[in-house]
Structures are given as C-alpha cells and as structure tokens.
Amino acid sequence: MRKLDFCKLTLFGLLLGLLSGTAHAQKGAGTVAFSTDGSTTLVANTASAPVVSHTTLKLNLPPAPETNAAFYDGSHKDLAQSLAWMQEANASAPTYWNLYTEARIQLQMGDYPGARTTAENAYQLALRYMPASQQYVLLSAAVVAKAHELAQR
C-alpha cells in the first residue's frame, strides 16, 4: 500500500510540475527535467559530472519536410507536393532513406529515369552504412530494377 501511495504522489507531483512550467523527477543518480518548450535534460547529482545526457525534443516545431512527404506519399494525397518536399530535404542533407522515398515517389509519378538515378544514389549511400542500412540497400536495388523494367516498356 505504501508503494502505491508513493507512486500516486510522484505522478501527482510530476503532473503539477508540468502544469506549473517545469517538473523535476528524481530517479536513481540523476534528475530528469522537463520544460514547457519541449526540452528534456538528465542531470547527475555529483559535482564531477554535472550533465550526464542532454536531449532536446522540440515538440512545438512543425514536422520536417521529409515527414510530410512520407505521409503524403503513403496516403496517396499529392505526389507532386510530396516530391517537392523530398527534394527540399535531400538538397540540404541527403540520407539514404530520404533518397529512397524520393525515388519511390518519382517511380509512382512515371519519372523512371529520375527514379533510377535517385535510387542508385540511395543504394550507394546505403552501402556506406552497412549493416544498419541493409534493408535500404535491398529496397533501393528493387526500385532501380523496377524503374529499369518500366522504362523499357
């Protein structure tokens, strides 16, 4: 019964702290601080290591263009807008998963040479990050083959 009361009191304190602006919850050797701007910080209680880990989550920012593009692509809403968002995301910092998504959108829109080129770039980039990117190597290769097949028709 005592443990249950402690949990209720802890949850109530956390909720009260979130409503007032910040909340601090003690856990083991560190303190977790949540703030209203969406940032989270884990701070140690020792003077020798003041900050153990720092993670910032910006919950009040709009989603990244690639997130919107993946949603539009997956729900088949507007492929042209989805492609524009993916190209915007890949222009600044291309990643193999975003290049793969762009190639898949180009394939659906009928741009077979563009899809093949983009998928080849995704394939080459994914090869650099093996074995974590093994799935994207296979997916990119499949898009290259599909784009080649559809371009031959």
Using 50, 70 and 90 to split pLDDT, how confident is the model at 89?
confident
Q: What is the pLDDT of residue 69?
A: 67
Q: Which CATH number fits domain 65-152: 1.10.10, 1.25.40, 3.30.429, 1.20.120?
A: 1.25.40
More confident residue, 34 or 124: 124
Domain segments of the chain: what residues? Answer: 2-56, 65-152
Phi and psi for 61 in degrees, rounded to 5? -90, 150
Q: What is the pTM of this model?
A: 0.56
More confident residue, 98 or 70: 98
Distance between CA atoms of 21 and 33, rounded to whole angstroms? 11
The region, left, alpha or beta by phi > 0 then psi within -120 to 50, assigned to residue 116 is alpha
If you average pLDDT over residues 89-93, what whole number do you get?
89
Bridge partners of 152?
A: none
pLDDT tens for residues 25-78?
444 445 555 555 555 555 555 554 444 445 555 555 555 656 666 676 666 678
